[in-house]
Structure 1
Amino acid sequence: MMGERTVMQEALFYGFSLERHVPDDHLLRHIDRFVDLSSIREHLRPFYSETGRPSVDPELMIRMLIIGYTHGIRSERRLCEEVHLNLAYRWFCRLDLAAAVPDHSTFSKNRHGRFRDSDLLRRLFEATVERCMAEGLVGGEGFAVDASLIKADANRQRGVPGSEGLPADATSHAVQEYLAVLDDAAFGAATPVAPKFISIADPASRWTAAEGGFAYFAYSTNYLIDLKHAVIMDVEATTSIRQAEVTAQRRMIERTQDRFGVWPQKLVADTGYGSAENLAWLVHERGIEPHIPVFEKSSRSDGTFSRSDFTYDHKRNVYICPAGKQLMHYRRAFSTPRVGVDEHGLMRYRASLADCRACALKAHCCPTQPQRNVQRSIHEGARDMARDIAKTDAYLVSRCERKKVEMLFAHLKRILKLDRLRLRGPNGAKDEFHLAATAQNLRKLAKLIPSGAPAMAG
């Protein structure tokens, strides 16, 4: 018998429970166990007036933002629509069926005011790190660091030449933030080189073609992760050049040690972090083993001997050339001692003119110069340490472990959909990167700590 469509009739009362309609295996159920926002109200209290109409609950806004970043919902307008319609989202936000969802403009108002003034999103991210540590997911023995380019919300065809600077009538929020970070080593002061183009819409973003394709405006998100379970220990937004990313690495290590008391034995990174100055900072100032390829610029392509063909004698402070002759820093004593270090932190070791003139290997060593010289960095000891580590089996393991941070970036862009920023300015990038890292740590907790497990690791 053919059935007939039932006409919906409004009932006077409903026996409906959101709790029963959210599946036990839903991602938000697993994440909800690790979301503790009880301290938010007290943290934000100084930023609210004691009089006037009640505001939108800040805990509700944070829960909605967590939904958006854990589920790749990039638009706050769409996020409000999804929370209005989705039962699981309402359950996570503690909204019953009749409760109203905040307007999308509420997020913008709070972001430019209370959230940034109180550094709330940084506090939220650090809370997830503390929970990962409490659950035993942080080993603390080895860290890895890397950066990834994220496209800025700026049209690549609407930039002005960097030599011309910004127009006088550019006064947006992003422009004001750009002017505020001109002296910041992670942005304007990272390099004295003017960019080829500047975006009027978001001038703090950097014109870059680092990925080998078309150039575009971008920011860099920098991750410092623990190698045990790839928990993100810190995150930093910078302009997209290597000097700024190395600065971010130092800030993240210092902040992690100060904030959480975690002091790793080793740091794993790629060649971009292998400069002499950075290796010396890790070894001498932080006592961290650099599992990092040394950034070398001494190799020659013309067939003549490179610096690596010369052996350094630590005891006598001389280099020995392939012919067995000495290259010395100074060949006589000066009445007034000389430092002998140039502005780049390099010392020059020279061979004897007589030795080079009579040497049978001169054509393979310095065919166009009367004598050979070799430059040595004042940080060469740290570079030698990194070279020695690179010969060990532990270094091979570290090279494989470094892929964990690259996998996090792939997850960030493909699953969380953060391949292009929605907010502008350094603060906008900072907000998005903090929320994305928070979402990734929460998803990590939900994946590795099964339901029914003890609340905290023993």
Structure 2
Amino acid sequence: MMGKQSEVQAALFYEFNLEEHVPQNHLLRLIDRFVDLASPRRQLEPFYSAIGRPSIDPELMLRMLLVGYCFGIRSERRLCEEVHLNLAYRWFCRLDLTDAVPDHSTFSKNRHGRFRESDLFRKLFEHVLSRCITEGLVSGEAFGVDASLIKADANREDGIEPKEWSSADHASRATSEYLDTLDDAAFGAATPVVPKYISPSDPAARWSAADRGKAYFRYCTNYLVDLDHAIIVDVEPSAPIRQAENKAARDMIERTMDRFGLYPARLAGDTGYGSAEMLGWLVYEHGIEPHIPVFDKSGRRDGTFTRSDFRYDHTQDVYHCPGGKQLHQYKRLFKNPRDTICSDGVRRYRASKHDCEVCPLKHRCVPTEPARKILRSINEGARDMAHDIAKTDAYVISRCQRKKVEMLFAHLKRILKLDRLRLRGPNGARDEFHLAATAQNLRKLAKLVPVAV
């Protein structure tokens, strides 16, 4: 027999316990074990007045933001609606059934004010990372570094040429942030190359087609990841330029050393981090093994001998060519040996013109020039070390482990829905990247740390 719901008058009173309606295995229950906002609350106290009407609890706003980033709710307006309707979200935000949800505009006012002035999202990220370290999920033995392109909140059709752009005509918050970062190596000073287009709404976003697709205005999120359990130990925004990504990697490594005492033995990365300067910084300044492919442009397409065909003698500081002759920095010997380094950070070794003229291999070595010249970087020793490491079994393992960083980027874009920024300017990108990395670490904690019985 077909049933029918009885039409009765609604009860005036209900007995309802919100705690009983949130499943024990719900993600927010598992995450809640690691969310302690007492420390961020103390850090925010100096930014609030001691008198006046009480504000909305900042802990409530932080918990709502964590819900949004953990579940890929990109709009704060929609986030307020979801928290209003979802029992689990209300439970995590410490809201009862009758408690009001803050208006979406409250987030914007606090983000551009107290939250940003106190660097709250950075401190929240470090607080969660400290918990990861306490739970034994960070070994500090091997790190991986990588960067991923994120579309900016800027219309690719509205770009204008740099000569047509002026800060006076586009005096927005994003513009002022852009002007503040012109001398920042991660943004304006990353390269002297002038971009093809500038976005009037977000001039710090870089016009780029680095992923071999359509060109868009983009930012880059840089992750430094402990390869043991894929915990993000640092995150930094930058322009989508190799030099800026290298600078961000150095900043993240040094900051992790200073604040958490983590000194990795090896670093895994792709070829973008294989420049001589980056390898030299890792090896000579911090003693980190570079499990990184060497960025090398010494190869030739005309079939002539490359630099790898010349053998370097460390004891005599000379190169030996395939024909058995030597290449020196100087044509004559000095009483006091000289070691001249050019302004571009290389040493130049030259063969004798008389040796090259009579050499039977000249057509395979230097067919159009009178003598061969070899450039050697001051960081060539670090490059040689990276070449040697690439022949080991440990390097193969590092190459496989480095995929954990790429998986985090895939999770960031496909699960957390952060394939396009919603906030503008370098500070907006920094806020979003820190919150997303915090959410990823919290989800990792919930997955790997068992519930105490």
TM above 0.5, one fold?
yes
| SS of equivalent to 1:301 | coil
| SS of equivalent to 2:198 | strand
| SS of equivalent to 1:199 | coil
The Cα shift of 1:450 comes to: 1.9
| SS of equivalent to 2:110 | helix
2:53 partner letter: R
Q: Is the 8 A contact 1:163 1:194 kept in 2?
A: no
Q: Figure out how many residues of one structure are paired with residues of the other and give that number.
A: 453
Q: Which residue of 2 aligns with 1:120?
A: 120
Q: Which moved more, 1:424-433 or 1:155-164?
A: 155-164
The Cα shift of 1:181 comes to: 0.6
Q: Return the alpha-carbon distance in structure 1 between the equivalents of residues 8 and 225 of structure 2.
A: 54
Q: Return the alpha-carbon distance in structure 1 between the equivalents of residues 326 and 141 of structure 2.
A: 42
CA deviation vs aligned residue, 1:179-220 (integer Å, no higher than 9, x gap): 111111111011111100000000000000001011000000
| SS of equivalent to 1:94 | coil
Q: Which residue of 2 aligns with 1:373?
A: 373
Q: Return the alpha-carbon distance in structure 2 between the equivalents of residues 307 and 7 of structure 1.
A: 88
1:189 partner letter: A
The Cα shift of 1:54 comes to: 0.5
CA deviation vs aligned residue, 1:273-308 (integer Å, no higher than 9, x gap): 011111111011111011111110110010100000
Q: Return the alpha-carbon distance in structure 1 between the equivalents of residues 40 and 369 of structure 2.
A: 69
The Cα shift of 1:343 comes to: 1.7
Q: Which residue of 2 aligns with 1:180?
A: 180
Could you tell me which runs of 5 or more consecutive residues in structure 1 were left unpaired when the two chains were aligned. Answer: 454-458
Q: Which residue of 2 aligns with 1:329?
A: 329
Q: Return the alpha-carbon distance in structure 2 between the equivalents of residues 243 and 55 of structure 1.
A: 43
| SS of equivalent to 2:222 | strand
Q: Which residue of 1 aligns with 2:105?
A: 105
Q: Which moved more, 1:426-435 or 1:161-170?
A: 161-170
Q: Which residue of 1 aligns with 2:270?
A: 270
* Pairs within 5 Å for 1:378-389: 378-389=378-389
1:16 partner letter: F
Q: Which residue of 1 aligns with 2:74?
A: 74
* Pairs within 5 Å for 1:35-184: 35-166=35-166, 168-184=168-184
Q: Is the 8 A contact 1:163 1:196 kept in 2?
A: no
The Cα shift of 1:2 comes to: 4.4
CA deviation vs aligned residue, 1:353-383 (integer Å, no higher than 9, x gap): 1111111100000010111111101111111
The Cα shift of 1:71 comes to: 0.1
Given the superposition, is the C-alpha separation of residues 8 and 44 from structure 1 closer, same or farther in structure 2, using an over 3 Å criterion? Answer: farther
With normalisation by structure 2, the TM-score equals 0.98
The Cα shift of 1:162 comes to: 2.3
Q: Return the alpha-carbon distance in structure 2 between the equivalents of residues 423 and 10 of structure 1.
A: 44
The Cα shift of 1:447 comes to: 0.6
Q: Return the alpha-carbon distance in structure 2 between the equivalents of residues 357 and 98 of structure 1.
A: 92
| Amino-acid identity (%) | 70
The Cα shift of 1:334 comes to: 4.8
| SS of equivalent to 1:211 | coil
Q: Which residue of 1 aligns with 2:425?
A: 425
Q: Return the alpha-carbon distance in structure 2 between the equivalents of residues 38 and 21 of structure 1.
A: 26
CA deviation vs aligned residue, 1:383-440 (integer Å, no higher than 9, x gap): 1111111111101111111100000000000000000000000000000000000000
CA deviation vs aligned residue, 1:11-49 (integer Å, no higher than 9, x gap): 232110111100111111111111111122211100000
1:237 partner letter: P
Q: Which residue of 1 aligns with 2:355?
A: 355
Please give the root-mean-square deviation of Cα atoms over the aligned residues, in Å: 1.3
Q: Is the 8 A contact 1:166 1:198 kept in 2?
A: no
Could you tell me which runs of 5 or more consecutive residues in structure 2 were left unpaired when the two chains were aligned. Answer: none
Q: Return the alpha-carbon distance in structure 2 between the equivalents of residues 167 and 17 of structure 1.
A: 56
Q: Return the alpha-carbon distance in structure 2 between the equivalents of residues 154 and 181 of structure 1.
A: 18
The Cα shift of 1:74 comes to: 0.2
